[in-house]
Amino acid sequence: MSGVEVRRKDLQEVTVIYLKGYLDAHTAPEFEKALQELVDQNRVNIVVNLAELNYISSAGLGVFMGFIEDIRKKGGDIKIAEMADKVFRVFDLLGFPVLYEIFKDESEAIGQYR
């Protein structure tokens, strides 16, 4: 199946994670692995670019929730950029925008860490 593709781009103080495809109970572990790696490397200024994410279920949302506390304790954050409407509607239904800042452009999200 198409599944999810996770890419990573390291800038100086910020890391951008790109998710492409479908984030569900089958593919969430790949996103989890990527975030775990960042935490282990102490790269906690994170932007997740969702421009090419077509779908998210609660298993995908669970990955965001599973790391946010740890990352914030370390002084970092997860900011979200370029979310498609379909994915935003799920975030919004659950009130997630209260917890995660969402930006239209990736550069704007990156700028928050400067």
Partner 1 sequence: MARKTENYHLRIPSETANLQVIRNFVSDVAKSVGFENQDIGKIELAVDEACTNVIEHAYHQDSKKDIDVAVKIDFDKFTVVITDHGKGFKPEDVDIPDMNRYLAELRVGGLGIYLMKHLMDEVEYRTQPGVSNEVRMVKYLIRKDNKKKQSA
Q: Contact positions toward partner 1, by CB under 8 A? A: 1-5, 21-22, 24-27, 30, 55, 57-59, 61-62, 65-66, 68-69, 86, 89-90, 93-96, 98-99
- Token pair for 60: 């995908």
E strand spans, 4-44: 4-10, 15-23
- At its nearest, how many Å lie between partner 1 and the CB of residue 101? 14
Q: How far apart are CA 109 and CA 40, in angstroms?
A: 22
The residue among 66 and 108 lying less far from partner 1, judged by its C-beta, is 66
Q: Are 87 and 48 in contact (CB under 8 A)?
A: no
Q: At what angle do helices 58-73 and 28-40 cross, to 10 degrees?
A: 10
The residue among 51 and 59 lying less far from partner 1, judged by its C-beta, is 59
The residue among 51 and 90 lying less far from partner 1, judged by its C-beta, is 90
- At its nearest, how many Å lie between partner 1 and the CB of residue 33? 11
